[in-house]
Amino acid sequence: MAFWRRYPSGEIPPPLSRNLISYLGWALSFSVATLIIVLTAANFLMFRGNPYSSLVTYLVLPGILAFGVGLILFGVYLEWRRRHKTAPGVYPPLPVIDVNQGWQRRRLAIGLVLITLFFGLSAIGTYQAYQFTESPSFCGQVCHQVMHPEFAAYHYSPHARVSCTACHIGSGAKWYVKTKLTGLGQVWAVLTHSYELPIQTPVANLRPARQTCEECHWPEKFSDSLEKVIWHFASDQVNTAYRYNLLLKVGGGSPELGLGRGIHWHISSGVAIRYWARDRQRLDIPWVEVTMGQTPPRVYRSADCPDPLPQDAEIRTMDCIDCHNRPSHIYRSSLQLIDDSMAHAVLNVSLPYLKRNAAEVLAESYPNTPAALKAIADTLGAKYRNVQQGPRGRELVDQNIAMLQTLYQRNFFPDQKVDWRQYPNHIGHYEFPGCYRCHNDRHQSADGHKISNDCELCHEFVDQAEGVAAYGPVAYRKGEYRHPLNMPDIWRGHNCTDCHGPSATTPAVAAKPEQAALAVGKSSP
């Protein structure tokens, strides 16, 4: 609002905002400001956590409010220009404020109140908009069609209470601005439906793990060995249980303290490992360079590694994400889901052939989620139509069907073409190469050293039991791994992924098809 001196005749000049365009701006601004106040209160009192309510309140409406203020100022400018053209010399070129005049004091007071209200709402809106755009709801639910699988998997991960931005952005303004600018392209892709499904990984230009992950985890934190319990259930009538107890040599610590060993040796201080991956998903690693302290680096190459490396080869320094590449968005395979659920009594092992039947129905491809849920209910309902499990038999079957449907919705997303096969998990070596990408006994240095694939580099088996004994006490005695299902030597000379990966084409499977089928959770032919 502008304030002018009196006309020569002594009349009070009308404000510059007295024009049609500014009136529209006033009406829009007051309406939107009132709506922002009401919705902000509602978000705090009733709808807190609703992503679409927050989207409207803190992003859409403030934009409309700014547009309304812009209309007011645009109308003021047009009115100022009209007055100077129609009555040149009557109005001074710039406003003259004289607080000795009552009408100017009143206009000044009203203007200050409106400016204070506008900037107050802008401050609250800006802060809430910042908080909202940093929230998992904004990342996972606003772009629901694209991010639904990631959001669902995130909620059942070890980092479910860690915000997305803590890992994807981290602290500091530099990466915040950089990520938000990159996000504009992603928003455009969502609006124009030009995105690609499934989302390609690993994410390009991700902030180094030492600046994000190591805010909470760091290799100098010594953890020594940790016990890990692995359960497997056979596909026979009684769902025979197999339990494996092993010690993971996690290690860590600082070499200065005489530690720095175990699996976390790879990223301990004084050690630098660089590698070249031939593919985008970093499954094929033919070149590895290891530098320890002040010693010259040692280069390991696989037999098919080109020498010299291609000019466009991207050499990456190993960090946490090279192994822990799925720390939050974890998609579990059907067999892993079933085994873990049976081990924790989420699925009832008393149902005959439950492992086999559940594995078969989850292994099928479905056009969409509703079709998958119907198939699970229909298939298992038919298989257990005449099951005899006492008076609660039907209820028990229904509970297992409902749980399988829930597990499916957390890990399989046919609408977005997403399941565990699209996103290799580099931890371990059961379903994907993982450790075997380098530790395969096929990377050799010029002086004859090899990167060993000795199992006991990373873990030791301390107990193994099957059947009823699997539910008994742990003996804790070091022993050699014994493959279940009467196949004691089938694993020798092969990687686990040869039989248990997304595409099992190993000679071991061809040699014993009926046993291998049982091993991967399918009925024998």
The pLDDT assigned to 49 comes to 58
Residue 45: partners with Cβ closer than 8 Å, 6 or more residues away: none
88 pLDDT more than 80: no
Percent of the residues in the chain that have a pLDDT greater than 70, as a whole number: 88
Of 100-104, 395-399, 476-480, give the lowest mean pLDDT range.
100-104
42 pLDDT more than 50: yes
60 pLDDT more than 80: yes
pLDDT class of 179 with cuts at 50, 70, 90: confident
- Phi/psi at 103 (nearest 5 deg)? -65, -35
Distance CA 516, CA 525 (A): 11
Distances (CA, A) of 366 to 160, 183, 419, 485: 28, 32, 12, 30
**247's tokens:** 């010690």
The pLDDT assigned to 247 comes to 92
Question: CB of 338 within 8 A of CB of 345?
Answer: no
Mean pLDDT of 255-269: 76
CB neighbours of residue 143 within 10 Å: 19
468 pLDDT more than 80: yes
pLDDT class of 144 with cuts at 50, 70, 90: low
Give, as one character, the DSSP assignment of residue 512.
Answer: S
The full DSSP string for 68-112 is HHHHHHHHHHHHHHHHHHHSTTTS-SS----TTSHHHHHHHHHHH
Domain positions in the chain:
20-133, 144-203, 226-327+426-482, 334-422
Output the CA torsion sign for 245, 436, 451, 442.
positive
The pLDDT assigned to 456 comes to 87
Buried b (16+ CB within 10 A) or exposed e, 27-58: ebbeebbeebeebbeebeeeeeeebebbbbbb
369 pLDDT more than 60: yes
Give, as one character, the DSSP assignment of residue 450.
Answer: B
The pLDDT assigned to 511 comes to 35
The pLDDT assigned to 378 comes to 94
Dump strand ranges (E) for 7-129.
none
Of 215-229, 287-301, 305-319, 435-449, give the lowest mean pLDDT range.
215-229
4 pLDDT more than 80: no
82 pLDDT more than 50: yes
* Bridge partners, residue 272, by sequence: 291
Apex 229 CA angle, 514 and 401, nearest 5: 60
- pLDDT, tens only, 277-291: 999 899 999 999 999
518 pLDDT more than 70: no
**241's tokens:** 């249980």
Which one of 108-117, 206-215, 342-351 scores highest in mean pLDDT? Answer: 342-351
Distance CA 262, CA 268 (A): 10
* Bridge partners, residue 261, by sequence: 252
Output the CA torsion sign for 230, 234, 235, 240.
negative
- pLDDT, tens only, 338-357: 999 999 999 999 899 999 99
The pLDDT assigned to 318 comes to 92
Question: CB of 3 within 8 A of CB of 107?
Answer: yes
The pLDDT assigned to 130 comes to 76
Q: What is the mean pLDDT of the chain?
A: 82
Amino acid present at 62: P
Of 143, 142, 134, nearest to 175 by C-alpha is: 134
151 pLDDT more than 60: yes
Helical pair 61-86 and 102-133, crossing angle rounded to 10 deg: 150
The pLDDT assigned to 258 comes to 62
Distance CA 108, CA 110 (A): 5
Distance CA 144, CA 197 (A): 13
* Bridge partners, residue 292, by sequence: 271
* Residue that is written with structure tokens 């092992």 in the block: 349
235 pLDDT more than 50: yes
pLDDT class of 259 with cuts at 50, 70, 90: low
pLDDT class of 37 with cuts at 50, 70, 90: confident
Question: CB of 27 within 8 A of CB of 75?
Answer: no
Distance CA 387, CA 353 (A): 11
Q: How far is CA 364 from the centre of its chain?
A: 25
8 pLDDT more than 50: no
